[in-house]
Structure 1
């Protein structure tokens, strides 16, 4: 009978270890992420990209001509309100007060002179500002604005209509030359009309506060030396149906008073550093006059949060093109 031998501990130590046999369990495969299918750009993103910002100089060059002021107008700026102007003024009032239901409150109209003066308005926040100016003034004598041509002449028909109607003396190259604008102001005031300008030079800025005043208006005022009528306006930074806006005409002042010059003192020579320094003093003085008034009247234009703001974006940008021009200058 065969005998089986039991392995001794020494023999067990000498027995080589066998590698573990692979188990029959199937390992779970790591799920692979499916790569998204790439679609053509016109399918994945149908949103219209905003128009690129174009400098006023580039727009002027694209037109082939960029006449300013009286050169563009080609006639003396009239003070008499024509039949066409009176008719379109009535149409504009119907649209503003009936269709858009805007509510505009104006005060201080007893401070308005008979004619032939320089009106300076702030805070400038949108396309409604010129209409607030005209709402505060009588229909005659006419009001002529020194305004941005790139922001206004967005189409040929608008330029032709404004040229026929009057009321605008366009600026294309702001900051390059001021003599033609001085000539425009002198012609308007000499004819007994109203020369209007907004010293901020842009519609960008905080609500209820004025922005920094530029010095161009003050240089024009120094050389023209006409009565200056400050106008405070508020509530035009955001427009919607039923929007409330407020304006206030302030007492008449003068370039000498704003500059701190005596009544008989000579004006600084044109084009000198002294003239520029005086213009800066005038801008600071006018900002100190208009700024607190804008802050005081702005709360009257603020609606509660729950107030509906229908057509807010459409009305705010009705006559402006977001992204086309750098509104910060």
Structure 2
């Protein structure tokens, strides 16, 4: 047993994807992994509908709130307002390369301003009862990661941060789209591993290009403190998250069919308050990826879940596609 360390595996914060429905679904597959919210900007927390932006269920824990911003006073206030919601961690986004983020001077562009990041996290930590962490890149544009990343870690750690999630790619702020920034710049896992050796007192987790539990396990064995998986955990959640608790020495939990059954009371509650089926099931489309019946499962939900009145009957219909195919295969 490896203790409670939830960051041995985490699911990345992903805009439009890791909402509270997604997190509840993911939690059914892994009791241990740290889950993250979508990024929420500090001004949105201050001026927006906080219950909608920050609300979550007890079942989602351990769960971290990711904030975006570059104004220390705004971030401090956002953390103050978020404290009553009871998150287990507050994470500052220093990795997102989108144009919208750049225009607000936060996200990956902050890799160029480690002093400002240090001011931000210090202000956040003053009012946070839980750890303030940073998710960053290895550098941006023409920076030399081997030079700028150690300086960045040293400067921000001096402000009190002890935990970094490092996306092992540069971000190109000009010329590449956010999607291209997740795929084109080369991965440098060795650099992240060297940062753990250089800063052994820090918790260093790696992100970028990891798609399997075997990869995650090998990175943990190489000395990193944790592995964050993004798109693979979303698109193929059954393959990545079912069995993930083995990284902590735990036995197997629910299988994919049992996960669907366990989702039904949650979905029923969502529908009873006026919610739509597709708001939840859109996160579940990849659950049976690579298994018999997966195509039928996706088809039934994709075609029917957004129709008015769609409910648990449609979910049963989709599940029958899987269980019928699996029964035929084993007959």
Q: TM-score, normalised by structure 1?
A: 0.27
Of structures 1 and 2, the one scoring higher in RCO (CA 8 A, sep 6+) is 1
Instruction: Say which one has the larger Rg.
Output: 1
Q: TM-score, normalised by structure 2?
A: 0.27
Greater share of helix residues, 1 or 2? 2
